[in-house]
A and B are shown apart, each in its own frame.
Chain A
Amino acid sequence: MSKKMPEVPAASLADIAFMLLIFFLVTTTMDVDSGLERRLPQWVEEKQDEEVDVKERNVFVVLVNRNNDLLVENEWTDIKELREKAKEFMANPADDVNLPEKEPKEIPFFGEVMVTKGVISLSNDLDTKYGTYIAVQNELVAAINELREELAKSKFQKSYIDLDKEQQDAVRKVIPSNISEAEPKKRN
């Protein structure tokens, strides 16, 4: 009756586990996908002038040509200076008449604040290198992120990423990220 069951050998368990481990090492990747997040504008069937009601002073024009040079507001610019220029444009601290207008808006936490009407317009040539294009986009996003960070620091004494969701929304409304990727113009 009391016949003992033989013990299951566990010596090969390690081999099996190693096999599984190696399989997972080979078939999986560790990199986390990250990138610059953007929203494209809606597709409009008919070509219409979008910039009808946008005044000249409200547009920050960035052009990238086929040699990967930058023309910012009709001035040849190095990419290192782009961030400062974009920040100055979006913030307009001295209410310069050449920099964008502001309009009052009611925003939670802040009350009535002046929000810029500035739009950054980025256009490129068909022969522009993608790497350059991303570098320019990165600088523009960085400019806006820095402004938001400064605002969060002065208003809430906290870093932007440490704010809760409503506060982040409010900060985002005070400093909107208006980057428009203009459609390329056909060269005639």
Chain B
Amino acid sequence: MSKFKKGGKNELPPISTASLPDIVFMLLFFFMVSTTMREVTLNVTVKLPTATELSKLEKKSLVSYIYIGEPLRQYQAKFGVAPRIQLADQFANVSDISNFIIAEREARDEAERPMMITSLKVDENTKMGIVTEVKQELRKAAALHINYSSRKPAQQK
């Protein structure tokens, strides 16, 4: 009868996990290549407007960011709910922008300075008043190449 049963000695061999590290490393390299580091912690909520005619920001090292939006809830007691400007990691006023641009410019190589881009990440419900003030400051600081950050609409028409 027990032609196929050989006394329980022949157990299933365990699955080899020797290739598991290789698989995980492959995933790791994929994520290292395709993602970018987060630069700042956002203190304001930014919901970008949608647009279709987008151009990509090619060189991340040449881009400096200006965020405008409502402060997050934990900052609202101190800074109110009106849209505020965020430069690097902290809240700022319009008058701080020129210093920020100068600092950003100093941090780059001389050869790269003319190619610098300022990316405006502005919440879509912000009023234009504050944005216009920022734009005027950028013009004064001669940071003329700007990019209105926006995202693709969810569904294609």
Tell me the A residues contacting B by CB distance below 8 Å. 10-11, 13-14, 16-18, 20-21, 24-25, 27-30, 32-43, 124-131, 133-135, 137-138, 141-142, 145, 181, 183-184
Cβ-closest 3 pairs across A and B: A131-B124, A28-B35, A126-B129
Assess the B54–A131 pair: CB atoms within 8 A: no
Of A14, A37, A38, the contact of B24 (CB 8 Å cutoff): A14
A-B contact pairs, 24 of them (CB 8 A): A10-B18, A13-B21, A16-B21, A28-B31, A34-B55, A35-B51, A35-B54, A35-B147, A36-B150, A37-B117, A37-B147, A38-B147, A39-B146, A42-B139, A42-B142, A43-B139, A126-B129, A127-B127, A129-B125, A129-B127, A130-B49, A131-B125, A138-B53, A184-B128
**B contacts with A, residue count (CB < 8 A):** 54
Q: Across the interface, which residues of A come within 8 angstroms of B131, CB to CB?
A: 130, 133
> In the complex, which of the residues A24, A27, A32, A35 has the most CB atoms of chain B within 10 Å of its own CB atom?
A35
Residue of B nearest to A12 (CB): B21
In the assembled complex, how far is the CB of residue A57 from the closest CB belonging to chain B, in whole angstroms?
A: 26
Using a CB–CB cutoff of 8 Å, the interface residues on chain B facing chain A are 17-18, 20-21, 24-25, 27-28, 31-32, 34-38, 49-57, 60, 63, 117, 119-120, 122-129, 131-132, 135-136, 138-140, 142, 144-152
Would B51 and A130 count as touching, CB distance under 8 A? no
Report chain B residues within 8 Å CB of A141: 53
**A interface SS class:** mixed
Select B128's contact among A11, A37, A133, A138, beta carbons within 8 Å. A133
User: Secondary structure of the B side of the interface?
Assistant: mixed
CB distance from A12 to the nearest CB of B (A): 9
Minimum distance in angstroms from A183 CB to a CB of chain B: 8
Chain A residues, Cβ within 8 Å of B151: 34
A126-B129, A184-B132 given; 15 more Cβ-contact pairs under 8 Å: A14-B21, A27-B38, A28-B31, A33-B147, A35-B57, A35-B148, A35-B149, A36-B147, A36-B148, A42-B139, A42-B144, A124-B132, A127-B128, A130-B122, A138-B52
B142 and A43 contact, CB distance less than 8 A? yes
Residues of B within 8 A of A127 (CB): 127-129
Whole-angstrom distance between the alpha carbons of A41 and B45 in the complex? 29
Residue of A nearest to B83 (CB): A130
Contact residues in A for B54 (Cβ distance below 8 Å): 34-36
Decide if A126 touches B127 in the complex (CB within 8 Å). Answer: yes
Q: Judging by beta carbons under 8 Å apart, are A27 and B37 in contact?
A: yes
Q: Which residues of A contact B117 (CB under 8 A)?
A: 37
A41 to B135, CA, bound (A): 10
B94 CB to closest chain A CB (Å) equals: 14
